[in-house]
Amino acid sequence: MKTARRVITLILFIVFLIAGFTAVVILPRDEASAQQENRKLADFPSFSFERLKSGKFTSDFETYLSDNVGYRSTFMSVSAAYKNSKGINEYGKLVETNGDLGTGSTKKSELLVTDDRVMEVYRADEQAQEEYIKMLDFYAEKLPASINLYSMIIPTQIDFMPFYKTVGDDEKENIDYLYSNFNKRVKNINVYDTLKEHFDAGEYVYFRTDHHWTSLGAYYAYCKMGADMGFGTLRLDEFQKGEVKDFTGYLYSQAQAPYLDSHKDTIEYYKNALNDITFKCTTFSYIPDQEFDYTGKMFDLSRGASYNMFLGGDQPYIEIDSNSPNKKTLVMLKDSYSNALIPWLTCAYSKIIVVDARTFDQSITKILNTTPVDDFLITNYILGTNFRDYIKLCHDIY
């Protein structure tokens, strides 16, 4: 009898392995899931005994398995629908999810789903905050004294809604904490009050189904930057406004709340002769130590109703040359929030170099050695300051 049970157990184990192998290797990779989540699915991780010993290989391999299950988007929809049936409280629905900044790792996080929008819930990570402060201090020590160093941390809309902001930690309090602990050389651009003023006035400064701000929200940040950084800004009526309707963002795909279909967003964009231009993009990932250049568009309408319409999405390295009368150069170390901001800044700088630490594998030092730089801006939205691996990437590319 024991032998029979062992044989049955062994057979079930083999069936389980075959099923897992089929789900990951045999079934086609679910590219629809990547599009739905607006990120690149994990590739098979590189192996070394050092990575195995540190646990990095195991962690990356688990992410690879999770990302490459066949029909992943279907499983996600079923799972999210189940989670969405729980967590109902006085504020709406709290939905558990995996926060993802595009670094290959995730963090357990929550979304607040209300009657007309979905928002990320911010939970302060004290250890990550200290690492973010050290990263800014590192740049303050390393950058040449002739370069102005700026920091901008962008809040999310949940902090402007008194009924909802108590669900998570106070974003303003934590932004102020970070600003107050940076090296004195760092000049902080505090856009919190600016965005709150326009949000309270009912202006469309944040999307309802996505974690990003809108182009209008980015415009008001651009105006605040002009006041703090000393460049002139243009009026909205000096731009031609365009719209892409029926946008549902990253948070919509995570929350799986079908009733939000009646609250789809509209992507607004503003163009003029200065910012409706193409620019140079460079990636270094195809062939080691070799650059691959391609042309990007400020407003890539071929992307359809997607936040990736701005700049064509996140790029490792962007070099923008415009006819701005302000003959200065700005280097930006940024997350995806800045994709909607850069078209405005193109009107304020004749040259902008944009670096995304998540995919840029060269060095900031190389840029500084080959290009005269006036201003250096490190900007992220508040939840980005919680991802320690992202902060390390920002530090290590110098």
DSSP string for residues in 166-184: TTS--HHHHHHHHHHHS-T
pLDDT greater than 60 at residue 17: no
Q: How does DSSP classify residue 91?
A: T
Q: Is pLDDT larger for residue 30 or for residue 37?
A: 30
State which H helix or E strand residue 332 sits in.
strand 329-334
Report d(CA 170, CA 168) in Å as an integer: 7
pLDDT greater than 50 at residue 86: no
Beta strands in 12-117 (DSSP E): 88-89, 92-100, 106-113
% of the chain exceeding 90 in pLDDT: 64
What's the pLDDT at 85? 46
Alpha carbon separation from 325 to 271, 310, 349, 376 (Å, rounded): 17, 23, 8, 19
Q: Is pLDDT larger for residue 35 or for residue 249?
A: 249
Q: How does DSSP classify residue 7?
A: H
Lowest-pLDDT choice from 87-96, 97-106, 117-126, 341-350: 87-96
Categorize the per-residue pLDDT at 37 as very low, low, confident or very high, splitting at 50, 70 and 90: very low
Categorize the per-residue pLDDT at 83 as very low, low, confident or very high, splitting at 50, 70 and 90: very low
Instruction: Tell me the average pLDDT across 315-337.
Output: 96
Provide the H-helix boundaries in 22-71: 31-37, 49-54, 56-67
Any idea which residue has 């980015």 for tokens? 218
Token reading at 20: 């897992």
User: Please, what is the angle between helix 215-229 and helix 192-200, to 10°?
Assistant: 140
Categorize the per-residue pLDDT at 91 as very low, low, confident or very high, splitting at 50, 70 and 90: low
Instruction: Tell me the average pLDDT across 174-182.
Output: 98
pTM of the model: 0.79
What's the pLDDT at 297? 94
Q: Is pLDDT larger for residue 106 or for residue 311?
A: 311
What's the pLDDT at 358? 92
Report d(CA 205, CA 203) in Å as an integer: 6
pLDDT greater than 90 at residue 234: yes
User: In this predicted model, what pLDDT tens digit does every residue of 196-213 receive, in sequence order?
Assistant: 999 999 999 999 999 999
Categorize the per-residue pLDDT at 100 as very low, low, confident or very high, splitting at 50, 70 and 90: confident
What's the pLDDT at 236? 97
What's the pLDDT at 199? 98
Mean pLDDT rounded to a whole number for the chain? 85
What's the pLDDT at 84? 44
What's the pLDDT at 255? 86
Token reading at 219: 């415009």
Instruction: For Cα atoms 64, 66, 68, give the angle at the middle one, nearest 5 degrees.
Output: 65
pLDDT greater than 50 at residue 49: yes
User: In this predicted model, what pLDDT tens digit does every residue of 301-324 receive, in sequence order?
Assistant: 999 999 999 999 999 999 999 999
**The residue type at 172:** K
What's the pLDDT at 264? 95
Token reading at 235: 């009026």
For the chain, counts of helices (H) and of strands (E): 14, 14
pLDDT greater than 50 at residue 238: yes
**Which is nearest to 222 in space by CA: 169, 213, 328, 49?**
213
